Amino acid sequence: MKVVIVGGVAGGASTAARLRRMDEGAEIVMLERGPNISFANCGLPYHIGEVIKDRERLLVVTPEKLKEMLNIDSRVKNEVVKINRAEKFVMVRDLETNRTYEESYDKLVLSPGAAPIVPPLPGVNLPGVFTLRNLPDMDRIKAFVDEEKPARAVVVGGGFIGLEIAENLQHRGVQVTLIELLNQVMAPIDPEMAALVHQHLIFKKVRLALGDGLKSISTGEDGWLKVGLNSGRTVDAQMVILSIGVRPENRLAKEADLELGVRGTIRVNSHMQTSDPDIYAVGDVVEVINRITDEPTNMALAGPASRQGRMVADHITGRDVSFKGVVGTSVVKVFDLTVSAVGLNTHQLEQAEMEFMNVIVHVSNHAGYYPGASPMALKLLFSPEGKIFGAQAVGIEGVEKRIDVIATAMQAGMSVFDLEELELSYAPPFGSSRDPVNIVGFTAGNVLRGDAKVMHWDEVNQLDRNAMTVVDVRLPEELGLGMIDGAINIPLQGIRQHLNEIPKNRPVLLYCQTGQRSYFASRVLNQLGYDAYNLTGGYKTYSHAVGRQSNFDVFEHVTISSREEIKEILPTPSGAIAEVTVDACGLQCPGPILKLYNKIKEVNVGDIVTVQATDYGFTSDVEAWAQSTGNRLLSLDTEDGIIVAKIQKGAPKEAAGGVVMGKNKTLVIFSGDLDKALAGFIIANGVIASGNEAAMFFTFWGLNLLRKNEHVKVKKNLIERMFGWMLPRGTQRAKLSQMHMAGMGTAMIKGIMKKKNVDSLPQMIKTAMDNGVRIQACQMSMDLLGIKREELIDGIEVVGVATMLAASDDSNGVIFI
Ligand code: FAD
């Protein structure tokens, strides 16, 4: 039997090699148009970036070796130009001699791949404009970078290849502007997952233009390429790489009247036979069945090409084998990130009109206590019955391992509930006893069983805030990372004590940084009869997704003419400064921020704290935190995959409202009136915000505000009990000093405060305490009124007048209320 194979790389070479192993007597001829067979096209971007230094490593096998080892007749620079199906031969042109000859076949296998799309736009053929498919393309690009030493490049297209090229060019010191027509890079993943990639690209100083397309390329007077975009903007660059996708090389099939499929692919049956049973087709050029939708699609990935090649060889040699279809398992490295996905994403599920649900978890790749743990965001999409539709993950390590497990589960027909049960290997350096796959299974299982109700990041801004309470259950120290508008802060730790602040008559959206603590809180609330929802993926997913995605305009007016200029010059702080390092590696957000917060408290103004972290979410968090706390982010970079942030402690921020800097205050709260108490707390919180200290000394009727709202059983004598009945208990019973109007005025003012998002009195007390305001109860007044320590809210110091006087000595003012 004679088998002729068109194309000598992934699909073609796999077919040839397996054929020989299955049939020693077969005559195998492999015809390749290019100068190489079986080269590692997936490695091409990395040789440009000099990550793979040795070019030879990309040449997996040569025609000579293939002849020696497998007795395969492979001919490079031989292009098949025509198929004669009737007489079963192909016309071949020897590209070196230009001679054309016929090559007969019993079976023909087409594996011609897919070619980069070059849009019909002005200037796409100018020198300096490239595409990348094979070794000659790679050599041209690398030679240009080596010789011309370009300062700037434009990469058009934010898919796998575009991102790999962008990374590798930046690696070579070329500043990249990445242009992507969609509003996100990496189309296989959902926007909120892609947002993590955008932040990372920006962090790596890629200039990112999303939602904009290439319109034209021309050469300017300075010799640079002027890349015109649909938006009307122009980018100057010395080189342009077009990576906007591939189109199947279907010319031979089309001219031979073979049936075509979706997007110009060649239609094949499950044995990979075309409409002519003696002609097979494999690889990027074929139509395949999507195993989730059962619909035809195409999948330009090396794995399917190589497996199809092997399967075709088996079929040709008499085995009854078939290709089951694809689920689209993919992975790509984007600088320090790993981005991996399988199955359908939200857009595809919506297009297919398939009902689905989804959850997002933020988990560590391995036990957090073992050095080097790094976080990953893992999203699962599934049917209301628990069928797995797809998964996406973004992280640093162990990302593709989890997607591979889920991909296997999908292909085995397993459900969300099976993910909960999966037994996966575990030791601290590699995983957790509850693997991320189990955790995403538990989370989805909770939703399916009705144990947890979730909301998604894109629903938050559509909420009617008057119809829903939003509760942030993070610690106050974490709020510097930002909050959802209108949310109230009740840390999970205190949620049971603060239920009175959460109205029961309307739904509650709970969130924390990652969605885990808010899930715990939602369980508390739901069991108490609340209608509580958890924000899946937490504030981390929300803030990334709703934040700025492009940074194009940041560079709008910057001219960079040489490579040297694009290196950032770090501001060097002057004066005697101490430098301390905080190791926050392995901690998930907000861990690194909390460590930084505590260290900054210890050091002096001007000192530098270097934080090392592995949670890449820290890169955007630290910037926001530094900005909101008056500290200065000096630098942010990565060293060997570890994020290194240098923060210089700033002077305390000047408070709004003109509170004098550097002056402490003591407030004596004599009154228990609501309005006066509010005024007192507003001032105290303002003093703290200005970087000063505040103490509030509650005496006589003011003490009522510090009493718990609920009755506390304590031992009292008759007089004390009588006082106890007469005195209003806690903040809930505090009234306005004027216009109380039998409760109407007080209720009105509380309503207005809520509407205008002014913190309630209990919230202000809590904020003051969390911020470090010393809340002191006068021991003597407590004795007189018969108020016991147990009746006071937690965190109150019971002090004598001497303590109050000592505090006022340190103050430049004592305010009486
Ligand atoms: P190819 O491997 O492209 O081989 C087709 C060959 O056929 C070509 O060499 C072509 O010259 C030859 N040919 C075409 N027409 C003729 C003709 N008429 N006569 C003779 N020869 C002909 N996939 C992944 O899964 N992971 C990755 O990380 C990844 N990275 C990639 C990076 C780059 C830069 C590129 C270009 C591709 C990458 N891919 C990756 C995709 C993967 O390489 C392809 O899916 C796979 O090579 C497809 O195999 P194929 O045999 O269909 O086509």
pLDDT tens for each residue of 307-356: 999 999 999 999 999 999 999 999 999 999 999 999 999 999 999 999 99
Q: Return the closest-CA partner of residue 258 out of 90, 92, 114, 85.
A: 85
> In angstroms, what is the C-alpha Rg of the chain?
33
Q: Whose CA is nearest to atom 14 of ligand 1?
A: 112
Highest mean pLDDT among 327-331, 758-762, 794-798: 327-331
Sheet holding 632-639, edge to edge: 579-584, 608-613, 642-648, 632-639
Tens digits of residue pLDDT in 635-654? 888 777 788 888 888 876 54
* Burial profile 795-805: b = 16 or more Cβ within 10 angstroms, e = fewer: ebeebeeebbe
Q: What is the pLDDT of residue 794?
A: 84
pLDDT at 309: 98
Q: pLDDT at residue 214 above 90? A: yes
Q: How confident is the model at residue 661 (pLDDT cuts 50, 70, 90)?
A: very low
Query: Which residue in 187, 302, 332 sits closest to 245, CA to CA?
Result: 187
- As for ligand 1, residues whose beta carbon falls within 6 Å of it are 6-7, 9-12, 31-34, 41-42, 44-45, 79-80, 111-113, 132-134, 161, 249, 252, 283-285, 300-303, 305
Q: Is 155 in contact with 201 (CB distance < 8 Å)?
A: no
Closest CA to 521 of 549, 552, 545, 497: 497
Sheet holding 508-511, edge to edge: 454-455, 532-535, 508-511, 469-472, 488-489
Cα 327 to ligand 1 centre (Å): 20
Q: Which of 684, 622, 628, 690 is nearest to 656 (CA)?
A: 690
> Hey, whose CA ends up nearest to atom 15 of ligand 1?
112
9 CA to centre of ligand 1 in angstroms = 6
* Average pLDDT value for residue range 709-724: 78
The residues, any chain, with a CB within 8 Å of residue 209's CB and separated by 6 or more, are: 177, 178, 179, 180, 229, 233, 235, 550, 552
Q: Output the DSSP codes for 398-463.
A: SHHHHHHHHHHHHHTT-BHHHHHH------TTT--SS-HHHHHHHHHHHHHHTS--EE-HHHHTTS
What local confidence, expressed as pLDDT, does residue 660 receive?
31
Q: Tell me how far CA of residue 658 lies from CA of 300, 490, 559, 648, in angstroms.
A: 63, 29, 41, 25
Separation CA 552–CA 565 (nearest Å): 18
Residue 397: is its pLDDT beyond 90?
yes
Taking residues 18-28, report their average pLDDT. Answer: 98
CA of 399 to the centre of ligand 1 (A): 25
Looking at residues 365-376, what average pLDDT do you find?
90
Q: Measure 41 CA to ligand 1 centroid, in angstroms.
A: 7
What's the DSSP call for residue 133? Answer: S
| 640 C-alpha to ligand 1 centroid (Å) | 32
**Quick one: pLDDT at residue 252?**
98
CA–CA gap between residue 284 and residue 548 (Å, rounded): 35
3-state secondary structure of 548: coil
DSSP state of 570: P
Per-chain mean pLDDT for the chain: 90
Atom of ligand 1 nearest to the CA of 301: 45
CB atoms within 10 A of CB 567: 10
Q: Reduce the secondary structure of 591-645 to three states and give it as a string.
A: HHHHHHHHHHHHCCCCCEEEEEECCCCHHHHHHHHHHHHCCEEEEEEEECCEEEE
Nearest-CA neighbor of 440 among 432, 492, 373, 676? Answer: 432
With tokens 């290194």, the residue in question is 644
Share of the chain above pLDDT 90, in %: 64
Ligand 1 centroid distance, CA of 610 (Å): 45
Q: What was the pLDDT predicted at 407?
A: 98
Check 42, 512, 589, 778 and give the catalytic one. 42
Which residue has a Cα nearest atom 42 of ligand 1?
Answer: 302
Q: Which of 624, 625, 646, 649 is nearest to 637 (CA)?
A: 646
pLDDT score for 663: 66
> What does the block give as tokens for 266?
């060649």
Give every strand in the sheet of 330-334, ordered side by side: 330-334, 337-343, 388-395, 375-382, 357-364
User: In terms of Cα–Cα distance, which of 261, 7, 13, 3 is closest to 110?
Assistant: 7
Q: What are phi and psi of 728, to 5 degrees?
A: -65, 140
Where does residue 327 rank: exposed (0-12), middle (13-18), buried (19+ CB within 10 A)?
buried
Mean pLDDT of 672-693: 80
Which of 6, 38, 42, 285, when mutated, tests ligand 1's pocket best, judged by the most ligand atoms within 8 Å of its CB?
A: 42
State which ligand 1 atom lies nearest to the alpha carbon of 11: 51
pLDDT band of residue 568 (cuts 50, 70, 90) is very low
Q: How many CB atoms lie within 10 A of CB 210?
A: 19
Where does residue 367 rank: exposed (0-12), middle (13-18), buried (19+ CB within 10 A)? middle
495 touches 511 (CB < 8 A): no
Ligand 1 atom closest to Cα of 113? 53
- Whether 656 has a pLDDT exceeding 50, the answer reads no
Cβ neighbours of residue 526 under 8 Å, at least 6 residues apart?
452, 453, 532
Q: What is the dihedral of CA 798, 799, 801, 806, to 10 degrees?
A: -140
Distance CA 479, CA 457 (A): 18
- Spell out the residues 6+ positions from residue 464 whose beta carbon is closer than 8 angstroms to its own: none
Strand bridging mode 73-75 / 27-31: parallel
**Pairwise pLDDT comparison (797 vs 36), residue with the higher score:** 36
Q: How far is the CA of 43 from the centre of ligand 1 (A)?
A: 12
Q: Which of 243, 279, 301 to mutate to test the pocket of ligand 1 (most atoms within 8 A of CB)?
A: 301
DSSP H or E run through 90: strand 89-94
Average pLDDT over residues 612-624: 80
pLDDT surpassing 80 at residue 690: no
Q: How far is the CA of 38 from the centre of ligand 1 (A)?
A: 9
- pLDDT (tens digit, 9 = 90+) per residue, 422-465? 999 999 999 999 999 999 999 999 999 999 999 999 999 888 87
Residue 659 has pLDDT above 50, yes or no: no
Query: Residue 726's pLDDT is what?
Result: 77
Task: Report, as an integer, the average pLDDT of 214-229.
Answer: 95
- Beta bridge partners, 278, equal none
Average pLDDT over residues 487-509: 95
Strand 288-289 relative to strand 375-382, pairing: unpaired
Residue 42 bears catalytic tag: yes
Mean pLDDT of 608-616: 87
Q: How far apart are CA 313 and CA 745, in angstroms?
A: 86
pLDDT in tens, 155-197: 999 999 999 999 999 999 999 999 999 999 999 999 999 999 9
Contact by Cβ (8 Å): 130, 242: yes
For residue 655, the model assigns a pLDDT of 36
pLDDT at 270 over 90: yes
570 confidence band (pLDDT: 50, 70, 90): very low
Which of 41, 118, 252, 286 has the most ligand 1 atoms within 8 A of CB, as the residue to mutate? 41
Are the C-beta atoms of residues 734 and 761 closer than 8 Å to each other? Answer: yes
**Residue 34 corresponds to which tokens in the numbers above?**
């290019």
| Residue 576 predicted with pLDDT over 80 | no
* pLDDT at position 756: 67
> Is the pLDDT score of 800 beyond 80?
no
- Whose C-alpha lies nearest to ligand 1, atom 41? 301
Which one has a higher pLDDT value, 373 or 738? Answer: 373
Of the chain, the percentage scoring pLDDT greater than 70 comes to 93
For residue 297, which of 269, 274, 270, 265 has the smallest C-alpha distance?
A: 265
Pocket test for ligand 1, best of 4, 6, 9 (most atoms within 8 A of CB): 9
Report d(CA 186, CA 347) in Å as an integer: 13
More confident residue, 166 or 605: 166
Question: Who has greater pLDDT, 575 or 723?
Answer: 723
Q: Report which protein residue has its CA nearest ligand 1's atom 29.
A: 42
Query: Counting atoms of ligand 1 from 1, which one is nearest the CA of 114?
Result: 3
What pLDDT, on the 0 to 100 scale, is given for residue 665?
83
Where does the pLDDT of residue 565 fall: very low under 50, low under 70, confident under 90, or very high at 90 and above?
Answer: very low
- pLDDT(49) > 50: yes
Q: Give residue 420's pLDDT band: very low, low, confident or very high (50, 70, 90).
A: very high
Cβ–Cβ < 8 Å for 514, 377: no
**658 pLDDT more than 50:** no
